[in-house]
């Protein structure tokens, strides 16, 4: 899939078929995330892949989007490693670039995903469920699967609102 | 260009030829940025396009990467609008997703760019040069042009370091 097409046609996908996401697809998604740019090339991103239904149900219990995580083939919890971070704003930007690479790769592979951010309000409990030390700061969870439908619509502000000035 | 190829072959480009970046290319780059995901779809990104050499020199005087901004065809200053932001961490992630879309679009168009973050330490002066109120928070400047060379190497940590656990 062309890169511009991927950028413009990617949508949040919240309903999935039962078809599994393969380990090779998960590796490609993580690898794509890892090729994001980061300040000082510090690569703060860390990943936990949650495929087991039991563990997904534990994660799901920590968000109002329970149904999405339970229905996904795999959940990928994305963390930032506090021990390599150097500037919160820049590291969080890098994490956003990483997550966007992952979403675009997922779309390019014919899969679908949604970026779940609300669960970050329960980050301490997520770390407990995933048996991770506080050093790893939860950034988001991606629910990933084969799309049951692709009818999600979205819209963006017009360029006249986004382009403030030209010199 | 295939989306995965774009993700894996994008590199920072710091040297540019004299060939101009067209207004249509700039529009495509901004449009790609605008299709990033954001929490609550709040779309906090705002852009200032700096093509004029005089204004680019003023910007360039605010960073140790002066040479890059002076040598670029166009600089795109990327801001987050404080009046629509709702959560600094999530908004900065969204801004990173926006910047990554822009970098991938630039690469897909056959152009090159580098994400300049150091200039953020002079953000108040950048806002003064660009005649913007404090409401707009500088996130980064992208220097964009036709690559003079594409020999930039980069590397990433191995997956054994990035993938913390699998369940």
Strand partners, B2: A2
From CA A150, how far away is CA A26, in angstroms rounded? 21
From CA B112, how far away is CA A161, in angstroms rounded? 26
CB contacts, 8 Å: A130 with chain B: 165, 167
- Whether the per-residue pLDDT at B98 is higher than 80: the answer is yes
Handedness of CA B1, A154, A137, A145 (dihedral sign): negative
CB contacts, 8 Å: A90 with chain B: 117, 120
Strand partners, B163: A47
ipTM over 0.95: yes
Instruction: Please give the pLDDT value at position B55.
Output: 97
Pick from A88, A89, A156: CB nearest B43 = A156
What letter would DSSP give residue B71? H
From CA A117, how far away is CA B40, in angstroms rounded? 10
For chain A, list the strands marked E by DSSP.
45-50, 74-81, 112-116, 136-145, 163-166
Phi, psi of B109 (to 5 degrees): -85, 0
Q: Please report, rounded to a whole number, the percentage of residues in chain B having pLDDT higher than 90.
A: 97
Phi, psi of B82 (to 5 degrees): -55, -25
Token pair for A135: 């050093």
Nearest-CA distance from A83 to chain B in Å? 13
Q: Which CATH number fits domain A3-148: 3.40.50.300, 3.40.630.30, 3.30.70.120, 3.40.109.10?
A: 3.40.109.10
- Cβ within 8 Å, pair B140-A108: no
Maximum separation of any 2 CA atoms in chain B, in Å: 56
Q: How confident is the model at residue B30 (pLDDT cuts 50, 70, 90)?
A: very high
Instruction: Write out residues in chain A with pLDDT < 50, as ranges.
Output: none
Instruction: Classify strands A45-50 and B163-166 as parallel, antiparallel or unpaired.
Output: parallel
Nearest to A138 by CA among A151, A153, A120, A125: A120
DSSP helix/strand/coil, A145: strand
- Whether the per-residue pLDDT at B83 is higher than 90: the answer is yes
From CA A23, how far away is CA B102, in angstroms rounded? 29
CB contacts, 8 Å: A167 with chain B: 48-52, 55, 130
**SS3 annotation, A56-68:** HHHHHCCCCCHHH
Residue with tokens 């890169």: A3
User: Judged by CB atoms within 8 Å, which residues 24-43 of B form the interface with A?
Assistant: 27-28, 30-32, 34-37, 39, 41, 43
Instruction: Please give the pLDDT value at position A152.
Output: 82
pLDDT tens readout for residues A98-124: 999 999 999 999 999 999 999 999 999
Handedness of CA A108, A109, A112, A114 (dihedral sign): negative
Report the phi/psi class of residue A24: left, alpha or beta, with left for phi > 0 and alpha for psi in -120 to 50.
alpha
What number is the average pLDDT over the span B86-106?
A: 98
In chain B, helix, strand, coil percent, each to 5? 45, 20, 35
pTM of the model: 0.98
Nearest-CA distance from B30 to chain A in Å? 8
What number is the average pLDDT over the span B74-78?
A: 98
Name the residue ranges covered by the structural domains of chain B: 3-148
User: Judged by CB atoms within 8 Å, which residues 59-78 of B form the interface with A?
Assistant: none
Q: What is the mean pLDDT of chain B?
A: 97
């Amino acid at each position: 899939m062309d890169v511009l097409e991927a950028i413009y046609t990617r949508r949040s996908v919240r309903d999935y078929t039962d078809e599994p996401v393969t380990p090779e697809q998960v590796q490609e998604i993580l690898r794509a995330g890892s090729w994001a740019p980061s300040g000082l090339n510090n690569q703060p991103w860390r990943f936990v892949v949650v495929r087991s239904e039991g563990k997904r149900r534990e994660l799901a219990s920590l968000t109002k989007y329970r149904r999405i995580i339970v229905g996904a083939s795999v959940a990928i919890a994305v963390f930032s490693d506090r021990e390599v971070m150097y500037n919160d704003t820049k590291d969080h930007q890098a994490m956003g670039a990483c997550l966007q690479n992952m979403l675009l790769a997922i779309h390019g592979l014919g899969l679908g995903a949604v970026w779940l951010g609300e669960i970050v309000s329960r980050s301490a409990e997520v770390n407990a469920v995933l048996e991770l030390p506080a050093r790893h700061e939860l950034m988001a969870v991606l629910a990933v699967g084969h799309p049951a439908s692709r009818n999600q619509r979205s819209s963006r502000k017009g360029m006249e609102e986004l382009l403030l000035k030209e010199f």
